[in-house]
Structures are given as structure tokens and as C-alpha cells.
Amino acid sequence: MTNFDQQAIERLLGDFAWHADRGEGVALAALFLPDAVLTVGGNDLRGRDAIAADCHRRFENPGRKTRHIWSNLRLERIEGGTIMTTAIQMTFEQYDPEKPAHLRLNDLFDSFRKDESGAWRFASRLIKREMALSIPA
């Protein structure tokens, strides 16, 4: 893996957080290969349409605000044209500024492959909740 490959993968992680926090389902789904699987909350979202729809569904409540922060990116292995990584994600979520926010600490298990244009994309992403906390308002 080159420095360019690593930077492209780091950009995907950052872009995932950015688009998820703004409810930009189509842009979020474009980070994935067409047949990719995103597993979140025990649900497998297969393909870009399902990924985009889930992102939009999460933002149907206009008071909902999230911020995602990732860290601790680790290259686990490279198999053929697939790169597998792990990382940690913190998700802050609030529905009402007068009520406690929630913090979830998740382990991320990602695999990346290049698309037809040669750009790295998520081939799969598993978001596994490890801790959940309430933060007083």
C-alpha cells in the first residue's frame, strides 16, 4: 500500500463521517462499491440504494444532530486488490439540545477495493457498537 492509497482510505473515512452527519445519503452511498454491504445496528444494508435510504431515514427527525469522529486506523491485511482496516469511531448524537446527548464508541471493520475508475471505495463496512454513554446537557 502506498502513501497515496492510505490517504485515499483516510479520506473515505472522513467523507463517511461528513456525509453521515449531514444526512447526505446519495453522497455517502457513492463512497461504496455498487454491491457493497454496510452493517450497522445489526442490519445489513446491501448496495448503494439501501445505504442512501438508511442515511436519509436517520435524518427524518429535523432535531437530530450527529458528529462522527474516527481514529486509530490500522491496516490489518492486504489480500489481492482488497485492503482491510480497523479503526475506532465515536458518534455523538442528540435529538434535543435541552436533553443529554449520547456517545457511542464503535469498532470499524472495513474492506476497500478500487472501482472501475481506479478510485478506492468501501467494499464492506461493519460498525460494531462497543460502548454507549449519555452526556449531560
- Domain range summary for the chain, segments of one domain joined by +: 3-135
Q: Which fold has domain 3-135?
A: Nuclear Transport Factor 2; Chain: A, (3.10.450)
**pLDDT per residue of the chain (137 residues) written in tens, 0 to 9:** 788 899 999 999 999 999 999 999 999 999 999 999 999 989 999 999 999 999 999 988 888 999 999 999 999 999 999 999 999 999 999 988 888 889 999 999 999 999 999 999 999 999 999 999 877 76
**pLDDT, tens only, 103-126:** 999 999 999 999 999 999 999 999
**What would the 3-class secondary structure string for the chain be?**
CCHHHHHHHHHHHHHHHHHHHHCCHHHHHCCEEEEEEEEECCEEEECHHHHHHHHHHHCCCCCCEEEEEEEEEEEEEEECCEEEEEEEEEEEEECCCCCCEEEEEEEEEEEEEECCCCCEEEEEEEEEEEEEEEECC
